[in-house]
Structures are given as C-alpha cells and as structure tokens.
Amino acid sequence: MILDYYRIFYYVAQYKSFSKAADVMGNNQPNITRCMNILENELGCKLFIRSNRGVQLTIEGERLFEHVSIAIEQLVSGENELLKDKGLESGLVNIGASEIALRLFLLNELEIFHHRYPHVKLRISNHSTPQAVQALENGLVDFAVVTTPVALKKPLQRIPLYSFREILIGGEEYAETASNKHCLQDLQDIPLIGIAPGSSTRELYTQYFMRHNLPFSPDMEVATTDQIFPMVQHNLGIGFFPEELAAEHIAQGKIVQIPIEEPLPERKICLIRNVKRPQSIAARSLEEHLTSHRETE
C-alpha cells in the first residue's frame, strides 16, 4: 500500500495539483487527498503547502521527491519494456542450431517470424548437435534446433519438427558408378568423405556402417556437412548429403546420386528445450511458431 502512496505523491508533485493527479491516475480528488494525509502522518512531516493556486512541495517534500521520482520513473520504464516485449516490439532470442537444421528448416521459419516481428533480435550460434545441447544445458541459448541422433538428460525435452533423408553423392567422374545400385561393400575402394568425430552425423554413420558389419573410416574428414559438397564436386571422393539440398545440383548435372542397397535411416530436426527454465516472451513466441506444425514421434 505504501508504494501506491508514493506513486500518488509523485503525480501530485509533478502536476502540482491533487485534481490533476487524480485525473491522470483515474482516481478521485478526495481519495488522493486522503492518501497524501496518511503518507504525511506516516512520515511525520508536511510534504505539501496547499493554497488556492495549487500545491507546492515543502523542503522535506522536495527531498523525498528526488528519491521517489527515480524509483517511479524506473518502474514506468520497466513496465513499458515488458509491454513492448508482450507485443513483440522488442526482445532477444538466442538459438543454438546445427548446420543441417539451420539450412533445411530453421532459416525458412526465421524468415516468416522476422517479417511478423521485425523488432525481435535473433542471435544464432552455429554448433554441432552435442555442442548445441551443451550450450542449452549451460544456459547460453534459449533453445536448440538440431538433428538426430541426440542424447538428452532431464529436464531437456525433444520436440520433432521435420524429417529428412540423406543420399550418397559423387562428382561427374563417378557418373558410371551412379548408373548401377551398389552394396556398401562394393564401394570400399572409393575415397569416402565424412564428418569428423564429435557430431551427431558422425555417430549416425558409425552406427549405420556397423549394422552392416563395416567400419566407418572416411578417407577425408571435414568439419561441417556443407564442406562435403565442394569436395564431392571436385571429384575428391563420395559422401552422404541431405537429399533436399542435393536435388537441385543433381538436376543441373553438377553431381550424381549413387544408389545403394542398404536403406539410409530417416533423420529428424528437433527442437530441444529445458522444461524447467523460464523463457522470455520473445523466445516462447518463436518456440511456439516453430512447433506449431510439429511432427509426432
């Protein structure tokens, strides 16, 4: 209650009038006068000099106003910031994203969200899936958008967003190889380009080859999936690449698809969130946008 009195005191001092303060605050003058009398009694001093021309602050009132004005203006500023956030006129969202998730799904959705809420700032950190999960656990990002496989511990939760598959591709020199379907064993003598250890993609292909009693030991290793494509295009070897991203280049004849007997596993792009950590209004709104058309497990 005392905070309400100080707020009233602030407006009376600002407008030098009980009636004007009442109008601004949507109150009535008798109630404003009563509250100021109570405040003066609580503090044991006069705060206002009343006259027919309005009110003036006493010396004690001026000293109090110096402190109250700072507090009230800070409160009003805070309220305005929250109202802006509520209307998504401001805000910042930190996202940890793996490269494939960014290119196949996230960029398109961020474009839509940005056009709808142009004043929300987006900060994207490019990580491998394990790194993005670690960033979420450390509180460095609001949520992560990554590719499977992904290992999680509570209180982290996975929400599937988008499914995709990868294919085996080669450069123009492998056109003859691409004319027939092959077993993985048949391709062991061809240089293989793969992701270096430490990513979900590397783990996926390690397990995939193991299921077919073969080691996954790339002849050339790269840091990101994007780096596989130019190496394949320059005929340095063959590699696995998202089918959706490869389709246009295959149609243009820049690369070829090498059919294989062993079906490649379906992968998912997932949103990872910490269910125990509160989120900002902006982060929650973006998460709701991303999950609005989510897939079921």
Q: From the CB of residue 15, how many other CB atoms can be counted at a distance below 10 Å?
A: 16
71 contacts: CB under 8 Å, gap ≥ 6: 6
DSSP-derived pairing of the beta strands 156-164 and 192-195: unpaired
Cα–Cα separations (whole angstroms), residue 31 to 19, 49, 77: 10, 18, 26
Q: Write out pLDDT tens, residues 171-225.
A: 999 999 999 999 999 999 999 999 988 888 898 999 999 999 999 999 999 988 8
CA distance 285 to 211: 41
pLDDT 10s digits, 14-54: 888 888 888 888 888 888 888 888 888 888 889 888 887 77
- Rg of the chain, C-alpha, whole Å: 31
Task: Give exposure, 197-214, as e/b (b: 16+ Cβ within 10 Å).
Answer: eebbbbbbbeebbeeeee
Given pLDDT bands bounded at 50, 70 and 90, which one contains residue 90?
low
Confidence class for position 81, pLDDT limits 50, 70, 90:
low
Asked whether the predicted pLDDT for residue 166 surpasses 60, the reply is yes
Tell me the backbone φ, ψ of residue 271, rounded to 5 degrees.
Answer: -95, 130
Q: Supply the pTM of this predicted model.
A: 0.68
Contact 280, 92 (CB under 8 A): yes
pLDDT given at position 294: 63
Burial of 74 (0-12, 13-18, 19+ CB in 10 A): exposed
